[in-house]
Amino acid sequence: MWLTAVYYDGRQARPHPVTLCVEGEKLLLQGRDIVRREALASLKIPPPLGSTPRLILFADGARCEVADRQGFAEMLQDAGSSAVAGMENSWWYALAALLLTLSLLVVAYLFGLPYAARAAADQVPVYLLERMDTQFFASLDQTLLKPSTLSAKRRQTIQDGWQRLALPPGEDRSANIEFRASPALGANAFALPGGSVLLLDDLVSLASNDQEILAVLAHEMGHVHEKHALRQMLQASVIGLAMAWYIGDVSSLLAVAPTVLLETRYSRDFERRADAFAAELLRANGIPVSRLADILEKLEAAHQTAVAKQPVESVEAMDYLSSHPNTEERIKRLRGL
């Protein structure tokens, strides 16, 4: 019994049409200029997966794809190779292999992607990061973002307070504050990939004193310091690109990139690190760490009210207001510092 298959020599991507058969304990493969005779025991034959062609993996890196899955299964059974036939017949083996593949994908998603994004974030040149921030404001100003209604004097006072903060050694004051108003985003602040911190009017009016505003800025600077926005965006674009490739539309992905930044929910770990950074910075400048907890409490209350005011169906849309999850847990931890 002969089967047709496609052979790749493992060195070049060129496919070679071949025919296969089993002779005793050996696999015989023939094509133009190719003859291989290999012990079945030396080959790896992964169990069938979905409707993909069956694979034969040679020890030297060559491989063979067999489209005729049924024929291949019969050929293996006829060969009577107990190991191969045993695997072949084992429904459980196929299921286990599938579960293993799935769990590897999950692990890669959970751990591999953040790791890769972190490594990639360190490679992105500064000028590109700054351009990202410029792009962010270019696409959202006049839509989601409006000019700040704070007086020039009020803004200057906040700027001055921020400039006066002594930074940890080695940290430059690249984070500049961008004042904006946004009824849709409410009381909020965002760290952008290029190091700009977007501070919204509602947050300024919510704060009882300027130390609370500085505490929020210090927290956002923690995100800047660890490149959280960039890392999150890189991760989202890998997933987004994969989705776009699957759906076949990349342009829509590029169009939504700036809003992804605003909808980002940081992980618990990112928040903890930004809080720790802020706590250290505040303490070094003689500002009580509890100021951050104070403003967090007010933000949480304000967002709860905003969500409660919304009709039920738009609650989900309002969800991005709390771009800083686990607020209660964070308040408790900050109070304990």
Shortest gap between Cβ of 75 and Zn ion (angstroms)? 59
Positive or negative: CA dihedral 6, 7, 13, 15: negative
Q: Any idea which residue has 């094509």 for tokens?
A: 31
Nearer to Zn ion, 22 or 299 (CB): 299
Number of Cβ within a 10 Å radius of residue 245: 11
Sheet holding 54-57, edge to edge: 34-39, 26-31, 16-23, 3-8, 63-66, 54-57
**Nearest-angstrom CA–CA distance, 92 and 271:** 42
Site for Zn ion in 221-280 (CB under 5 A): 271, 274
206 Cα distance to chain centroid: 32
Length of the chain counted residue by residue: 337
Q: How far is the CB of 68 from Zn ion (least distance, A)?
A: 56
β-bridge partners, 20: 3, 29
Q: Minimal distance in Å, beta carbon 211 to Zn ion? A: 18
> Is the CA virtual torsion 107, 111, 117, 120 positive or negative?
negative
Cα distances from 215 to residues 8, 95, 103, 138, 301, in angstroms, run 60, 52, 41, 28, 18
> Taking contact as CB under 5 A, which single stretch among the options 55-63, 148-156, 161-169, 317-325 is the one that binds Zn ion?
317-325
Q: Measured at CB, which residue is nearest to Zn ion? A: 324
Based on the shown chain and the rule CB under 5 A, indicate whether residue 324 belongs to the binding site for Zn ion. yes
CB nearer Zn ion, residue 136 or residue 266: 266
208 class by beta-carbon count within 10 Å (0-12 exposed, 13-18 middle, 19+ buried): exposed
Q: Smaller CB distance to Zn ion: residue 262 or 274?
A: 274
Residue 50 gets which letter from DSSP? T
CB nearer to Zn ion: pick between 129 and 221: 221
Q: Closer CB to Zn ion, residue 148 or residue 232? A: 232
Residues 91-150 that bind Zn ion (CB under 5 A): none
To Zn ion, the closest distance from the beta carbon of 145 in angstroms equals 19
- Find residue 37's DSSP bridge partners: 28
Phi, psi at 32, each rounded to 5°: -65, 125
Kindly tell me which of 22 and 274 has the beta carbon lying closer to Zn ion: 274
Q: Which residue has the tokens 């505003």?
A: 213
What x-and-dash track marks residues 59-88 binding Zn ion by CB under 5 A? ------------------------------
Among residues 81 and 323, whose Cβ is nearest to Zn ion?
323
- Residue 324 CB, nearest distance to Zn ion (Å)? 4
Give the residue with the Cβ less far from Zn ion, 212 or 271. Answer: 271
Q: Least distance to Zn ion from the beta carbon of 147, Å? A: 25
Query: Total residues contacting Zn ion (rule CB under 5 A)?
Result: 3
Rounded CA gap, 317 and 228, in Å?
A: 23
Q: Toward Zn ion, which CB reaches closer, 267 or 310?
A: 267
Judged by CB under 5 A, which stretch of 52-60, 87-95, 103-111, 321-329 contacts Zn ion?
321-329
Nearest approach in angstroms of CB 266 to Zn ion is 5
330 binds Zn ion (CB under 5 A): no
Closest CB 334 distance from Zn ion, rounded Å: 12
The whole-angstrom separation of Cα 132 and Cα 20 is: 55
* Stretch of residues binding Zn ion (CB under 5 A), selected from 122-130, 157-165, 167-175, 323-331: 323-331
Output the smallest distance, CB 219 to Zn ion, in A: 6
- Give residues in contact with Zn ion (CB under 5 A): 271, 274, 324
